[in-house]
Amino acid sequence: MDLFYSLIHNDLPWQLLLRFNNQLSKVDLNKLNGTHTNIPKLKAGLVGGQFWVAYTPCNTQYKDAVRQTLEQIDVIHRMCQKYPQTFQCVRSSNEIKEAFKNHKLASLIGVEGGHSIDSNMATLRIFYQLGVRYMTLTHSCNTPWADNWLVDMGENPAESNGLSDYGKRIIREMNRLGMIIDLAHTSIKTMNDVLQVSKAPVIFSHSSAYALCNHKRNVPDDILRKVREKNGLVMVNFFNNYVTCKSTAKLSDVADHFDHVKAIAGYQAVGFGGDYDGVPSVPAGLDDVSFYPDLVAELLRRNWTDREVKAALGENFLRVFQQIEQVKSSPGDDEPIPYDQVQNQCRTGYGYGDQNNNGNSLVLMPTVVMAVYLAYHLLV
C-alpha cells in the first residue's frame, strides 16, 4: 500500500505557534527543520492521517484559553488550505476514507485539554462545528468538572473526585455530538467515571502501558480491560519518560508497549499515539514521523499479523469513530455549570440571574428603584 492508514496524535500546530506565531506565510512545511514533522518526513513515513492537536497550556485557563484554542484550530484549517495537494481536512469516518482514496493525508482536529472550552457547552458545540473530533478531558491541570493525572501523583488536589455532575453532562454531550472522548492526561477516577457514563467507546490518544512504565500518564491493566469491554482504543505514546520511565528509550521498548496492550486488551484496542512535536525526547530509532515503517517492521518481526498491524495503524480507530458517530443524537444540553464552580475575577456572570459584569445584582434592581422612590418622597 502507498500509505499507512494511520491516525496519530501530532503537535505540529503547537510548534507553528511557538516558532512562527502561526504565520504560515513565514514557513514552508516542505522545508521546515528542527521539528519531528514536515511534509517530506510524513511522506517518507507513509503517514496516511494525523490528528493535528489544537493545544493551549493550562496557564491559559480562566484567561484566554478559548481564544488560544480557536487560533490553533484556525492554523490547522489554514495548513489544509495552503497545502491542498498534501493535506485534506476531514470531519467524519467517511471523509477519512475519501482522503485515503485520494492519497491525501487525512487531517483531523483534536483539542488537548478540557480547559479549552472554559466549562461551557456552547463552546464545546462550536468547536465541533469547526471540525474538532476529539477532546482530551484534562491536560496537566484540573478543570472545574474533571480531575487530571497529577491528582494521582499527589501534585494536585482532587476537586471533582473524578467527574463532577457537570463533567458527566459534558460526557453525555460529547456522545450526543459524536465527539470522541480522550482519557489521556486524566486521573484514574476520571477514567473510571467516564468509562461508566459514556455510551460510546473512548480513546487514550497518546498513553502507554503502566505495567511497563509506572508513570501516572500511562494506562493500568484494569483500565485496559475496561477499554476492551468498551470497544475503545489505547494509542501508544512514544515519549521516553512514558516508555521506559527514563530519559532514554529505543524502538523495541515502544514495541513492548504495543505487545502489552495487545496481550491485555486485544489487538482491536491498539493504536499509534506518537506525540511527535509535543515531547522533548523520543526513542532511538523513532526519531521523527518518517520512522513509522521501522516500528511496523518490528511488530511484524514479533509475529503480529498483517491484519493486526493494519488494525493498529488505522482500522481500529475507524471502527471506534464509526461507533461514536452512531451514538449521535439531539437535542443538546443547554444547562450551564453552576456559577459558584467557575466564579473568578476574570469571568463575568451574565445570564446567571444575580451576577453581572460589575458583580452587582440584577435581581435587586427593583429594590434599588424602590429605595430611590422612597428617598425622593421622604425628602419632598
Single out the catalytic residue among 36, 112, 152, 277: 112
CA distance 48 to 336: 39
Single out the catalytic residue among 36, 115, 206, 215: 206
36 is catalytic: no
Single out the catalytic residue among 36, 139, 215, 257: 139
Q: Which residues pair with 9 in a beta bridge?
A: 51, 274
Closest alpha carbon to 149 in 66, 65, 235, 210: 210
| Torsion, Cα of 293, 295, 301, 307 (10° steps) | -70
275 is catalytic: yes
> Residue 63, exposed/middle/buried by CB under 10 A (0-12, 13-18, 19+)?
middle
185 is catalytic: yes
Single out the catalytic residue among 36, 115, 185, 260: 185
**E strand segments, the chain:** 8-10, 49-55, 87-89, 105-112, 132-136, 180-182, 203-204, 233-237, 270-276
> Residue 211, exposed/middle/buried by CB under 10 A (0-12, 13-18, 19+)?
middle
- List the alpha helices (DSSP H) in 113-215: 121-129, 150-153, 165-177, 188-197
159 is catalytic: no
64 is catalytic: no
Angle of helix 12-20 versus helix 65-82 axis, rounded to 10: 100
Residues identified as active-site: 9, 11, 112, 139, 185, 206, 275
